[in-house]
Chains A and B, each alone.
Chain A
Amino acid sequence: AQSVTQPDIHITVSEGASLELRCNYSYGATPYLFWYVQSPGQGLQLLLKYFSGDTLVQGIKGFEAEFKRSQSSFNLRKPSVHWSDAAEYFCAVGPERYNFNKFYFGSGTKLNVKP
Chain B
Amino acid sequence: DVKVTQSSRYLVKRTGEKVFLECVQDMDHENMFWYRQDPGLGLRLIYFSYDVKMKEKGDIPEGYSVSREKKERFSLILESASTNQTSMYLCASSLGGTGVHEQYFGPGTRLTVT
Contacts and interface: CB of A to CB of B under 8 A. Distances in A.
Interface of A: 4, 9, 32, 34, 36, 41-46, 49, 51, 90, 94-95, 99-103, 105-108
Contacts of A103: 103
A4 to B, nearest CB: 8
Contacts of A94: 100
Contacts of B98: 100
B42 A106 contact: yes
A43 B89 CA distance: 10
Nearest to A99: B56
Interface of B: 4, 9, 31, 33, 35, 40-45, 48, 50, 56, 58, 90, 92, 94, 96-100, 102-108
Contacts of A106: 42
Nearest to B110: A41
A13 B55 CA distance: 43
Contacts of A43: 4, 90, 105-108
Contacts of B94: 101
Contacts of B104: 46
A100 B100 contact: yes
Contacts of B96: 101
Given A9-B40, A107-B40, A102 B45 contact: yes
